[in-house]
């Protein structure tokens, strides 16, 4: 995990340098801010994962008239570096493969990005252009905006460019763009080089599918063990994180450490302990209290740059655990299970889809917004504590396989959610974990639902009079509960809503394809608006927010 930053069009001011330093937590081991072309400055905060402290992994990487800074890992870097005609400064970095691939593909940026197997957000420059690219799902973040002078600013997080820009935009996942240095203030025109396959055309037998799912996921985990810092797992005790831990443990020579978090009475802590015992790996448990969860929320909102209750609730435990790992261990790289629920459609409301076609449409929609939800939470909760998270389920090959499977394989009557995934890994985990039904990270903190704790706190914190005036204070996306009111209040005390509020996607679980259009949110000017299925239902669910994105009937 690193932090990248750039300003194109002017010299760096002290205020801009201060903004760049707001993301130093992403890379506490080295900070560089270089002018690589006239009025083109590239900034880099490094977290040392590969060859710690060694100069070949520093950035910018320079060669062939190109300079690049990248936040990411390129897993096929060795093959992309073969026969490079140039000697690169800092060429030992895996991210040097961006330059070598760009040269090999005759400066075709789309082909270059498509050739990269990994997660990345990069800014590259030569004497004529600036080039930017982001990985297929948006595992690594990237934002941009323009200042009053027309100069372009780019950064890993909103907080490092917001005060400098008139308006902040996210650079879309699976896209790249070329910006001419002759006209850097022209609007960026992203070009899409990747999209999640939308047609389920892999008609394979269950047995063949199980083999492919197992083999590709194992390879996905193995390639993510690149680096020589200590590895750890975010172990919730659920299926996804436990599977990743089981696979990785088979490859790592040094025993990884499993980390879990919960209230004292958490059922998940016991499940996580069983997994750690089964894998014979050290297991550290962070026991937290409801009051700690409440007290940390302002920090979580600042780190996550959102006011969506779903992300914040899940982010609380994640943030506290990463804070603990950073302070108490030498682990720097964490493996996690994010992405499996979206790919396999295993959230409770998704498993109640009217049919498999509707589920398939919802999976595609959730994948489209993943960079605004679980991926965002993972990145921000870890990076601010100087940690790096890797998510094997979001490997490009694995996504391409699972998204093309028959939707009926993900919606099996009388079968547990993710039955296909579970059955593919028989014997890799204890049966009581492998066949345990899904629990949300936040709900499983203890026998008392975190949502109930927060709702009770906010009902006392936000007076009835204040809440009744919510539409006057927050006319756009008016909060529907006192909890939402509090998060929105904290958010607007921290960020300028008019500049970046539009980046926050909210209540993704309330906009499923089978809901009526008049019940939806985030529809206007949203990609969802082009993909609404005309599904009629006589019985609308009254929905209750839950941190997993599940829907409960009130």
Catalytic residue numbers? 2
List the structure tokens of 321. 């655990």
Q: Are 29 and 38 in contact (CB under 8 A)?
A: no
- Does 528 show up as a binding residue in the annotation? no
Cα separation, 179 vs 129, in Å, equals: 5
442 Cβ neighbours under 8 A, 6+ residues apart: 313, 314, 316, 317, 449, 450, 451, 547, 548
Cα separation, 138 vs 354, in Å, equals: 30
- Does 94 show up as a binding residue in the annotation? yes
Closest CA to 499 of 141, 146, 156, 184: 146
Report CA-CA distances (Å) from 111 to 61, 191, 194, 320: 20, 11, 10, 40
* Other residues' Cβ atoms within 10 Å of the Cβ of residue 196: 22
Cα separation, 171 vs 162, in Å, equals: 14
- Report how far Cα 265 is from the mean position of its chain's Cα atoms: 29
Q: Are 451 and 458 in contact (CB under 8 A)?
A: no
Q: What count of Cα atoms within 13 Å lies in the side-chain half-sphere of residue 7?
A: 25
Closest CA to 306 of 376, 387, 375, 369: 376
Peptide bond into 60 cis (omega under 30): yes
* Strand blocks (E) in 303-391: 331-335, 388-390
Cα separation, 341 vs 42, in Å, equals: 37
Q: Are 76 and 116 in contact (CB under 8 A)?
A: yes
Coil, helix or strand at residue 285: strand
List the structure tokens of 448. 């008392």
Phi first, then psi, for residue 292 (nearest 5°) are -60, -40
Closest CA to 121 of 188, 44, 186, 58: 44
Coil, helix or strand at residue 497: helix
Largest CA distance in the chain: 70
Q: Residue 113: in which H helix or E strand, if any?
A: helix 109-115
- Does 261 show up as a binding residue in the annotation? yes
Cα separation, 73 vs 84, in Å, equals: 19
265 Cβ neighbours under 8 A, 6+ residues apart: 446, 447, 448
Identify any residues that bridge with 334 across adjacent strands, giving them in sequence order: 232, 389
Annotated binding-site members for ATP: 261, 336-337
Annotated binding-site members for L-glutamine: 94
Annotated binding-site members: 94, 261, 336-337
């Amino acid at each position: 995990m690193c932090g990248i930053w750039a300003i194109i069009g002017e010299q760096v001011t002290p205020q801009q340098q201060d903004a760049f330093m707001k993301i130093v937590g992403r890379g506490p081991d080295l900070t560089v801010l270089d002018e690589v072309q006239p009025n083109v400055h590239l900034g880099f905060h490094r977290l040392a994962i590969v060859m710690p402290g060694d100069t070949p992994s520093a950035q910018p990487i320079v060669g062939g008239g190109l300079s690049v800074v990248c936040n990411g890992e390129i897993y096929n870097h060795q093959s992309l570096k073969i026969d490079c005609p140039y000697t690169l400064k800092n060429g030992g970095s895996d991210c040097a493969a961006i330059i070598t691939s760009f040269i090999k593909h005759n400066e075709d940026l789309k082909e270059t990005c498509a050739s990269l197997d990994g997660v990345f957000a990069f800014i590259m420059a030569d004497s004529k252009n600036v080039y930017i690219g982001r990985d297929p799902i948006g595992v690594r973040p990237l934002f941009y905006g323009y200042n009053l002078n027309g100069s372009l600013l780019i950064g890993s997080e909103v907080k490092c460019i917001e005060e400098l820009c008139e308006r902040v935009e996210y650079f879309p996942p699976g896209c790249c763009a070329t910006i001419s240095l002759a006209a850097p203030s022209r609007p960026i025109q992203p070009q899409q080089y990747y999209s999640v396959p939308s047609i389920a055309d892999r008609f394979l037998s269950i047995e063949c599918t199980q083999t492919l799912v197992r083999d590709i996921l194992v390879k996905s985990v193995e390639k993510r063990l690149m680096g020589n810092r200590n590895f750890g797992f975010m172990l919730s005790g659920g299926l996804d994180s436990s599977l990743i831990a089981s696979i990785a443990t088979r490859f790592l020579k040094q025993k990884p450490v499993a980390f879990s978090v919960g209230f004292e009475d958490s059922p998940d802590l016991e499940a996580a302990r069983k997994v750690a015992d089964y894998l014979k790996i050290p297991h550290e448990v962070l026991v937290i209290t409801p009051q700690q969860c409440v007290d940390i929320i302002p920090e979580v909102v600042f780190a996550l740059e959102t006011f969506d209750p779903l992300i914040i609730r899940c982010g609380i435990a994640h943030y506290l655990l990463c804070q603990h790992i950073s302070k108490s261990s030498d682990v720097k790289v964490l493996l996690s299970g994010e992405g499996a629920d979206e790919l396999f459609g295993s959230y409770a409301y998704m498993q109640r889809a009217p049919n498999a076609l509707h589920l398939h449409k919802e999976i595609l929609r959730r994948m489209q917004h993943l960079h605004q939800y679980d991926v965002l939470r993972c990145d921000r909760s870890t990076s601010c504590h100087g940690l790096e998270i890797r998510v094997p389920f979001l490997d490009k090959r694995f996504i391409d396989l699972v998204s093309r499977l028959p939707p009926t394989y993900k919606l099996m009557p009388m079968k547990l959610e993710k039955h296909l995934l579970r059955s593919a890994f028989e014997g890799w985990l204890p049966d009581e974990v492998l066949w345990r039904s899904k629990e949300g990270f936040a709900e499983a903190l203890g026998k008392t639902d975190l949502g109930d704790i927060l709702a009770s706190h906010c009902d006392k914190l936000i007076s009835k009079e204040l809440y009744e005036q919510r539409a006057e204070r927050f006319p756009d996306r008016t909060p529907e509960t006192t909890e939402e009111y509090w998060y929105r209040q904290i958010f607007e005390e921290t960020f300028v809503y008019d500049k970046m509020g539009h980046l926050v996607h909210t209540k993704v679980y309330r906009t499923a394809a089978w809901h009526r259009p008049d019940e939806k949110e985030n529809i206007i000017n949203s990609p969802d608006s082009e993909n609404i299925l005309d599904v009629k239902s006589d019985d609308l669910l009254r929905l209750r927010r839950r941190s997993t994105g599940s829907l409960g009937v009130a």
